[in-house]
Amino acid sequence: MGWRCFIVRKQLALFVGDDLSDSQKRTVQSHLELCPSCRLHYAALQRVREVMVQCGEENSQFGPSLWPSLRNRLEPAEFSRPVQPAWLPLGALAAASVAIAVMLWDHRGAPAPSLSVLRGSSDLTAGQALMTNQSDYGGVSASPWPADRVGQSIPARAQFLLEQAHPFGHAPAEF
């Protein structure tokens, strides 16, 4: 089956029902004269249409539509909502609130280990950037910046973080 057969077969049902324009009809007719495969397909579609027309004539005694008589016989359906536990929306709201609170929790005010504990810890080395500073709440808190950078502005702190994160040990010249 070639591409012309493919195109013509898409139009055959319309051709059988006499729903094509005159130029399209001539194109399909000229192809049917040349192609035996499409002629067989056309003949099969004609038989299907004839059967459908016969069925329509036999069932014409029911009138134009069965729906009006069927609608009168049908009982109205009762629609019910699916049962949902009453606590489900409240539980979801509570869980979402707890999740948001955990994400927004400010850990800077929490008491950190004392300076002596940090110095005595074998897990920390002298080269790490973890320095302890006095917090606003009177306790000791951890800062990711060395003590000499604590008072710097945000861009300077961000530059320091870029320097630490860059794989070659230096950051781009401009920030």
Higher pLDDT, 46 or 3: 46
Is the Cα torsion angle 17, 22, 28, 32 positive or negative in sign? positive
pLDDT class for 46, splitting at 50, 70, 90? very high
Has residue 3 got a pLDDT over 60? Answer: yes
- The stretch 91-113 carries a mean pLDDT of 74
Map residue 132 onto helix, strand or coil.
Answer: strand
Interacting residues of 28 by C-beta distance below 8 A, sequence separation 6+? 8, 11, 12, 15, 20
Q: What percent of the chain has pLDDT over 70?
A: 53
Q: What kind and span of H or E run contains 52?
A: helix 36-58
Has residue 124 got a pLDDT over 50? Answer: no
The 8-class DSSP code of residue 137 comes to T
Beta bridge partner(s), residue 134 = 140
Has residue 16 got a pLDDT over 80? Answer: yes
Higher pLDDT, 98 or 74: 98
